[in-house]
Amino acid sequence: MAETEQPKLYLITPPDISLSGFPEVLARALDTVEVACVRLALASRDEDRIARAADACREVTHARDIALVITDHVLMVDRLGLDGVHFSDGPRHVRKTRADLGADSIVGSFCGASRHDGMNAGEMGADYVSFGPVGATALGDGTTAPRDLFEWWSEMIEVPVVAEGGLTEALVRDLAPVTDFLALGEEVWRTDDPIATLVRLARARG
């Protein structure tokens, strides 16, 4: 799939959002560029704050028939009417979560640069596997997921693959032929004009 189709866009929220302003910006982003999925990825551990953010984002995404998943907070998926969960710590929760949430919910797994973890996540029922960071970022230990990992995966594994972390226009162009999704977050939100940046990165897919 990745080699014949342009990769879809997957949007990750900032780690901290203003409920008075972000939903409007998110709506403009989703109305400007076609996005397949949005991930609520707040740094806060405050359940009330996360729930209010999820409600606000869900109104925006579901009005546009776009899936909304949440990072790690699996117990909030059903309670808040979300579409699934994205695990930031590899495959270890995938099997149980797939059984708990059922076949219709999205279960994704971030696996760093580990082919082994990615394969385990896929075998346990993950809907997609995410590798990264692919570019320079302050997160992690400096390890990056190389292009040949995506190339191998797209040739050998049927589970969709997501590239994320430190994406630039050059990396988008380079990875577009070998990934199913490109996940954009801080690359967009940290700029002066997030919508224009999103458009520019989307166009770089070719």
Residue 101 has pLDDT above 80, yes or no: yes
Q: Confidence class of residue 142 from pLDDT cuts 50, 70 and 90?
A: confident
Tokens for 94? 């995938």
**Contact indicator for 72, 44 with CB cutoff of 8 Å:** no
d(CA 187, CA 151): 23
Q: Which of 145, 184, 131, 193 is nearest to 14 (CA)?
A: 184
First vs last C-alpha separation in the chain:
16
d(CA 13, CA 39): 6
d(CA 68, CA 81): 9
Q: Does domain 8-203 have CATH number 3.20.20.70?
A: yes
Q: Confidence class of residue 138 from pLDDT cuts 50, 70 and 90?
A: low
Indicate the SS3 state at residue 205: coil
pLDDT value of residue 60:
98
Q: Which of 97, 106, 102 is nearest to 61 (CA)?
A: 106
Kindly give, in sequence order, each residue whose CB lies less than 8 Å from that of residue 101, ignoring residues fewer than 6 positions away: 74, 77, 78, 84, 85, 107
Q: Confidence class of residue 20 from pLDDT cuts 50, 70 and 90?
A: very high
d(CA 61, CA 109): 21
CA R_g for the chain: 16
What is the residue type of 120?
Answer: N
Mean pLDDT of 35-40: 98
Phi-psi region of 65 (alpha: psi -120 to 50; beta: other; left: phi over 0): left
* Percent residues over pLDDT 90 in the chain: 93
d(CA 38, CA 58): 9
pTM metric for this prediction: 0.96
